[in-house]
Structure 1
Amino acid sequence: MCGSLLNVCKSLLDKNIHCQKISESFFEASVKSEEILRNMSIPIDLNDKNILIQNAITSLNSKVVSHNSSLLAPIAVDVILKITDINKDRNVDLNNIRIVKKLGGTIEDTEIVDGLIFTSNKISKRAHGIKNLSEAKIGLIQFCLSLPKTDMDNTVVVKDYNSMDKLLREERLIIGKMIKKIASTGCNLLLIQKSILRDAVNDLALDFLAKAKIMVIKDIEREDIEFISKTCNCVPIASLDYFTPDKLGYAESVVTESIGYGEIVKITGVESKNTISVLLRASNNLMLDEAERSLHDALCVVRSLIKEKAILPGGAAPEMELSQKLYQWANTLKGSKQICVKAFSDALELIPYTLAENAGLSPLHIVTELRNKHAEGHKYYGINIRTGTISNMIDENVIQPLLVTSTAIKLATETVMMILKIDDTVICR
């Protein structure tokens, strides 16, 4: 859309219309477009899950995983509704949703977990270690359970076996005291943040933790700390001195399951109701990555409906209706402003043209037919790519959020206005 607007700007500049006049006219056209879209939109009730699911399906139909849209769309809707109060909230924080990818199985095996999920590469495996817990007390630490490193200029020289034995005893003593302090708080599940300087936890510490019946999940990424803290209602602890019972979180159940090509740990029965996890499954990495992107798009669509409780028909119907209405409105204007607004309306026809072209249809024939339908007052008619004809998009359940179209036009217009303000460019290396 932005490129189409820039193309018509070039023709307007060739007619010696000043760029400031073009910017002002485009801004007015953008404001008028939002008014037209609101009049065209259909209010929805967020308690009607079918409307939300249908919008999510529309966004998934153009994806590689479109054949799984009937599965992923309800998941996207359920996830949003679980962390949102639709009667109060006007936005959804997608940072409260954690998508965990697991290779193996199919997309049909994807599930929602009301808690946390950790994959096999983060699970500490010891012969006498525990794998399942009930009534877990969770500690989240950001310090290392290993010996401190010396400075770069210092060295430790061991000259005989007695010194070596003393060094090893001292290591066991230091690590043992650390584990004893952790165990004294009642902690039985320890989450350890990944360290870039040294091992966050060494083998000796893992053995001591296993003997103390403390389950360990290591290599927690820094960006996941806030989500884990919010989910388990625990406080990240940066020093052993501050490891106290009041900073521990709680979960009813911790279960290790073998799925796909490894194991996962599910932590459920947590206190927080504002976060949720999705275990995404697929048979190969390509499908797994594509499913993640598609699910994220579906989540964004549902979030748009939470922000703006209204829908529009799909199939390029809004853009064609805007083009028609703006052209009629332009006839009420005078001078160069009329020319600029008409150029703006012409640029919007690129959307139905491109949609028809991508669907393998004849763009000229389809766009002309669609233009005639809208001229007759059929504002909900759009391009049905399944049948290759023009039909009522509302009847076909091809719908999209109002916020998506209005934001696209607004941002495209603002970008063009910004580019028009550029007087000259300097080439640099």
Structure 2
Amino acid sequence: MSAKTAAPRVPSNATFKSKEKPQEVRKANIIAARAVADAIRTSLGPKGMDKMIKTSRGEIIISNDGHTILKQMAILHPVARMLVDVSAAQDAEAGDGTTSVVILTGALLGAADRLLSKGIHPTIIAESFEKASRRSVEILLEICHKISLNDREDLIRAATTSLSSKIVSQHSSFLAPLTVDSILKICDENSTTVDLSDIRLIKKVGGTIDDTNLINGVVLTQNVVKNAGGPTRKEKAKIGLIQFQISPPKPDTENNIVVNDYRQMDKILKEERAYLLNICKKIKKSKCNVLLIQKSILRDAVNDLALHFLAKLGIMVIKDIEREEVEFLSKSLGCKPISDLELFTEDRLGSADLVEEIESDGSKIVVLTGIKSNLAKPTVSVVIRGANNMILDETERSLHDALCVIRCLVKERGLIAGGGAPEIEIARRLSKEARAMNGVEAYIWQEFAEALEIIPTTLAENAGLNSIKVVTELRSRHENGEVNEGISVRRSGTTNTYDDHILQPVLVSTSAISLAAECVKSILRIDDITFSR
């Protein structure tokens, strides 16, 4: 028989009868997400490795910050991208612990996979995980040590712990007090959060990381315009920030003027001089003696003739202020941006004791100190120095993480021991509570507790220790009531990490566990992936 038999047509509702597909989809999702977690697992802890990333534009980034690595990775799988979002959420909420949250999510997905293979329904797993995460947060808040913002030493220790896993760890004794001082300058005991945009990190190539310094004022990377002989230092400065140009106006369309007579030429030049002189006199009349000029695309922000007049009037000029800097400068100096010459009045100016251009390590910066205006908000600037751009970028990321750690302590004033101690303690308590439960939930809580041990296990593995031996020893010590026992890489074993000054804010751990459980819940609830046209 040459005729082929036609394949039987599958009825359209057979998809609902087949249970194979959702299981396969979940399995594929879990594998994809765990692959991302395993990729950055080696970068956890003080002995964690760094990753070198080459971007599509050819830039080289060296980092061990979880969020930086994941952000640059070309991840195509939609579920694996959810881990990048979790890391971004942790970065926004706590600023530190971006690697931990991804590793925790990977471990919880591994636990969920084992529970799914036992035939437990994914919704039950997701809900039980959420309950267990809420209980974990309660335990963390129970075991944390309350602190005050006046206790500078504790804040420095927390910042040092954050910096210890970075490339700049050998400079942490110098950088940690610098980050604490910069936060304390812009907040007080009653603050509930810190706006990190009030701390400006400025990168300058030259010198070493030890030359990084904190300036209680505003730092500009633009140089003072000196080609007309204007001043480079002003005491009792009155600062104006202008958004208009001090140069002859141009027509909107391209026009050519044909001048066939020298008298007409003189008239044009005379008009130009009169126009510019009028602007400069108005600026001087308002008692302004330091002028910041926003960068202009359409025409020159200021021309040579205007600079000559401003120099004669003793006004210091700094041009090419970027649009992004305007908000920070007006907030810091208490001056209002002036968009039109008619609005140039004394009440719109900011004031400072001293504005001067200083040279350090081969590059010049302008420093404005002693800002007095009532409208000014306290801000600080940190000038980061380093041998090359890669070191500068990584130092900036490390300082940002340390600043976020102190911000966490302003939000939630509690410190816990680091080095995997809180995770082991939560795992011990959850296992104990799971034994008192009955039914499927007991199984799920037990798996959740075991998954949390991934953090101390990874810390031990990355430090070259025997992870099974170390984690078993930690379990027995926690069973004997030693709550602060964790892994100390310096001592190559277990120790009381709280007394060893290995500290972290409680908010970093609580948000990491909550976000990881939420992400796992989202992934488990997906039973199919379809692509739209």
- The normalised TM-score by structure 1 is 0.94
| Separation in structure 1 between the aligned mates of residue 266 and residue 526 of structure 2, nearest angstrom | 73
Partner residue, 2:137: 34
Flag the 1:161–1:315 CA change in 2: closer, same or farther, 3 A: farther
The answer for the alignment partner of 1:312 in structure 2 is: 416
Instruction: Give 1:24's aligned residue.
Output: 127
Partner residue in 2 for 1:109: 211
After superposition, give the CA deviation of every residue in 1:286-311 in whole Å (9 maximum; x if it has no partner): 32222222111111111111111111
Runs of 4+ deviating beyond 6 Å: none
Change (3 A) 1:334 1:123: farther
| CA deviation after TM superposition for structure 1 residue 170, in Å | 3.2
Q: Aligned match of 1:135 in 236, 242, 250?
A: 236
Contact 2:423 2:455 in 1 (8 A): yes
Q: State the partner residue of 1:98.
A: 200
Residues 1:210 and 2:314 aligned together? no
Matched, 1:158 2:261: no
Which stretch has the larger CA shift, 325-334 or 238-247? 325-334
The 2-side partners of 1:62 and 1:144 are apart by 48
User: What residue in structure 2 maps to residue 371 of structure 1?
Assistant: 475
Contact 2:331 2:377 (C-alpha < 8 Å) held by counterparts: no
* Offset from partner CA, 1:216-255 (integer Å, 9 cap, x none): 1112122222221122111111211211111011001112
1:252 to 350, 353, 357: 353
Does structure 1 retain, via aligned residues, the 8 Å contact 2:139–2:426? Answer: yes
**Aligned residue number for residue 173 of structure 1:** 274
- What SS class does the counterpart of residue 391 from structure 1 fall into? strand
8 Å CA contact retained: 2:247, 2:306: yes
Does the Cα contact within 8 Å between 1:30 and 1:413 map onto a contact in 2? yes
Greater mean deviation of Cα atoms: 237-246 or 282-291: 282-291
* Alpha-carbon shift at residue 273 of structure 1 (Å): 5.6
Q: CA deviation at 1:320?
A: 1.1
C-alpha separation in 1, matches of 2:331 and 2:355: 17
Show structure 2 runs of 5+ residues with no match: 1-103
Q: How far, CA to CA, are the matches of 1:378 and 1:398 in structure 2? A: 15
Aligned-pair distance for 1:127?
Answer: 4.5
Question: Which position in structure 1 is the counterpart of 2:169?
Answer: 66
SS in 2 for 1:65: helix
CA apart distance, 1:313 = 0.5
Q: Which amino acid aligns with 1:411?
A: L
Matched, 1:268 2:369: yes
Q: Deviations over 1:44-81 (max 9, x none)?
A: 23211111111111111111111110111111111111
Secondary structure of the 2:255 match is coil
Displacement of 1:204 in angstroms is 2.9
Task: Tell me which of 328, 333, 354 is aligned to 1:232.
Answer: 333
User: For 2:300 and 2:124, how far apart are their aligned partners in 1?
Assistant: 62
Q: Check whether the contact 2:228–2:307 (CA below 8 A) recurs between aligned residues.
A: no
Q: Equivalent residue for 2:60? A: none
Query: TM-score normalised to the size of structure 2?
Result: 0.76
In structure 2, what is the Cα distance between the partners aligned to 1:127 and 1:173?
A: 18
CA separation of 1:339 and 1:199: change in aligned 2, threshold 3 A: farther
Q: Which residue of the partner structure matches residue 180 of structure 2?
A: 77
Q: Distance in 1 between matches of 2:247 and 2:109?
A: 60
Shift, 1:210, TM fit = 1.7
| Aligned partner of residue 25 in structure 1, secondary structure | helix
> Hey, what does 1:190 align to over in structure 2?
291
SS in 1 for 2:320: strand
Aligned with 1:264: secondary structure? strand
Q: Deviations over 1:119-178 (max 9, x none)?
A: 2x44312241101001100001122222333334x4223253545554444333322222
**Number of the residue aligned with 1:222:** 323
Of the structure 1 ranges 165-174 and 32-41, higher mean CA displacement relative to structure 2 is found in: 165-174
Equivalent residue number for residue 495 of structure 2: 391
Q: For the Cα contact (< 8 Å) 1:123–1:218, is it kept in 2? A: yes
- 3-state SS of the aligned residue for 2:498? coil
Percent identity over the alignment is 50
Q: Give the drift of 1:25.
A: 0.7
Contact 1:138/1:249 (8 A) holds in 2: yes
AA at the equivalent of 2:484: Y
Root-mean-square deviation over aligned CA pairs: 1.9
Structure 2: which amino acid aligns with 1:374?
A: H
Q: Which amino acid aligns with 1:110?
A: T
In the other structure, the counterpart of 1:330 is 434
Q: Is the 8 A contact 1:315 1:384 kept in 2?
A: yes
**TM-fit CA distance, 1:32:** 0.2
Mapped contact 1:317–1:380 kept (Cα < 8 A)? yes
Deviations 1:185-213 (A, max 9, x none): 11100111223343322333222222221
Amino acid in the other structure paired with 2:122 = C
SS state at 1:379 partner: coil
Query: Is 1:291 aligned to 2:395, yes or no?
Result: yes
State the alpha-carbon separation in 2 of the partners of residues 335 and 127 from structure 1: 84
Distance in 1, matches of 2:523 and 2:256, equals 62
Unaligned runs of 5+ in 1: none
TM-superposed CA distance for 1:7, in Å, is: 1.9
How far 1:285 moved relative to its partner?
2.5
1:55 corresponds to:
158
